[in-house]
Amino acid sequence: MKRKMLWGSATASYQCEGAWDLDEKVESMWDRYLHENGLENGDVASDHYHHYEEDIRMMAEGGQNAYRFSLSWPRIIRDLEGNVNEKGLAFYDTLIDTCHRYHIEPFVTIYHWDLPQYLEDIGGWQNIETAYHFEKYCETVFRHFNGKVRFWSTFNEPKWFIFSGYMSGNYPPCHRNIPEVIRGSYNVMFASALGVRKFREMKTEGEIGLVASYQTIYGLDESTETLNAMRHADNYCNNWQVDTACLGEFPSDMVDKLKEQGYDLSFAKEEELQIIRENTVDFIGINYYSPMYVKPYTEGETLVKTNNQGKNYKGDLRSVVKGWFEVANDDMKDIVPHNPWGMFVYPQGLYDALTRVSSYVKQPIYVTENGYGAYEEISEDIDDQYRIDYIREHIRYMLKAKEDGVDVNGYFVWSPFDLYSWKNGCEKRYGLVAVDFDNDCRRIPKHSYYWNKSNIENDFIDLRKEEKQMRNIVLVCNGGMSTSILANRIKELGGDGVEVNAYGEQEYSQHLKDADVVLIGPQIRYLIDDIRKRVGENVPVASIEPRVYGAMNAQKVLEMVDELLKDSK
């Protein structure tokens, strides 16, 4: 089926609506937790509850044709008995009607982390009953909105809310308990399958998917130990969401590993696993922001750290999953660019994510989130060039994946306007439009809003057409697999703009004459003076840092080439 490309933006109810106790909405687990602990909260957030019309109009005027938002469960279902709050449904009726009026496709998430507190009180995601309550909630919203919504997602980022709630302990209910991580993950994937089953039983119009958080995994070298660590990290971060939703099975090597480590998985009942198998999704949403670098596990108990303090964060981010892998992000932080929250900016990771997922999953893909969080001063003229650069490069890689055959059908910027970023508060701004939180939540479009508008209008055609200057890179190294892998990655990344040839110590000298730039592998950097003499002053020569080389970081190498060529002009 040929699908219309969706160019939109995404939010979540708790992060933008505000109106936390208005129109008979009941308390969510986030309301309770943030109020009890006196933390910055989403009581008002971006006040989308009252600004929705302006926000949707701005999306349409900004060229967007889709809006991904979530329904607030505690706004719609009042209690454990399943009593419905008609005022909650009425709010979403108006929101959806407004989308249609502006020719915006509503792309609806059923659960984006704001669990009703009455469910947390019975054990939240630890209690399988919550999955059945989710099924009933789905039934209510499918019945009510049928025909008005074509794209539904059961859950947003199961990995993120489960692991933050039960492993890192920085989200409610703030536990640190691995059996709870396992149980919670299982219950959520089961709940998702129940939602999909209900959707089909009720013959609801449209399609239903799941939105996964995706961190593309890279290793620091190619040893068998690193490849194993990468597989574990991929299971940990990505596969248990994507495989389970799309193929109907938890990754079998992950299940074996958990058993081998002595975790009790006997709670998983055959009839539940059958429901998971039979109710796979129609599409998969991928939220990609950053990659993760990993190395083999050495020692220590499981410990996962998160930076919720941005530039004020002082500690390291050393994280370990016992027996599985260690996070090597700290090893890469001088090599790969990152934002003030320590999140790497690596657009090729989106290409790698999309090609990897589509290599084994038949469902169409949507990039359901991607965006740049920054500290920003409010003014009438917010120059967020870094956000434009970030979005442009990610879209470029998404389009390249599409050209290479990946069935990707939409891209949603996180977020259309600034909102409350969970534990990062409102300081971490992602919006194309600024929200002046201190002045009645006034909206002010940033440069990225106008940039996005002009590019959507021509379907990002200019981006696709942009010619890259041809660069001929000669890579001198001591041969071996890693060199050819690095050369191939540079070629892939540079596309038509790059020619790369790798030569060993014996043969390089005859190939220097066509080089625009010569790069030398770290082990044979002693050749640098000889090569400089041979190529003369006009051709830059440099050696690749061992860590860049070891991690086969093609993006860094290309940046290095650009720098060298710029300086040599």
Identify whether the C-beta of residue 250 lies closer than 8 Å to the C-beta of residue 222: no
Question: Strand pairing partners for 70?
Answer: 109
Report the candidate in 351, 301, 341 with the shortest Cα–Cα distance to residue 322.
301
User: Does residue 135 carry a catalytic annotation?
Assistant: no
Question: Strand pairing partners for 153?
Answer: 109, 209
- Which residues are within 8 A (CB) of 279 and not within 5 positions of it... i.e. 6 or more apart? 193, 194, 196, 197, 200, 248
Q: In what order do the strands lie in the sheet with 325-327?
A: 217-219, 292-295, 325-327, 320-321
- Contacting positions for ligand NOJ (CB under 6 A): 12, 15, 156-157, 287, 369, 414, 421-422
CB of 412 to ligand NOJ, least distance (A): 10
Rounded to whole angstroms, the Cα distance separating 404 from 392 reads: 18
Residue tagged active-site, from 157, 180, 272, 326: 157
Residue 15 or 154: which CB sits closer to ligand NOJ?
15
Cis amide prior to 173 (ω within 30 degrees): yes
Helical H runs in 124-177?
128-145, 158-163
DSSP β-ladder status, 517-520 and 207-214 = unpaired
CB of 410 to ligand NOJ, least distance (A): 16
User: Does residue 222 carry a catalytic annotation?
Assistant: no
Rounded to whole angstroms, the Cα distance separating 26 from 74 reads: 5
Report the candidate in 537, 555, 509, 496 with the shortest Cα–Cα distance to residue 347.
555
Residue tagged active-site, from 180, 272, 326, 369: 369
Residue 31 or 139: which CB sits closer to ligand NOJ?
31
CB of 468 to ligand NOJ, least distance (A): 30
Residue 429 or 489: which CB sits closer to ligand NOJ?
429
CB of 332 to ligand NOJ, least distance (A): 20
CB of 421 to ligand NOJ, least distance (A): 5
Residue 127 or 170: which CB sits closer to ligand NOJ?
170
Rounded to whole angstroms, the Cα distance separating 257 from 517 reads: 46
Residue 215 or 555: which CB sits closer to ligand NOJ?
215
CB of 371 to ligand NOJ, least distance (A): 7
Identify whether the C-beta of residue 137 lies closer than 8 Å to the C-beta of residue 77: yes
Residue 437 or 508: which CB sits closer to ligand NOJ?
437
Query: Known catalytic residues?
Result: 157, 369
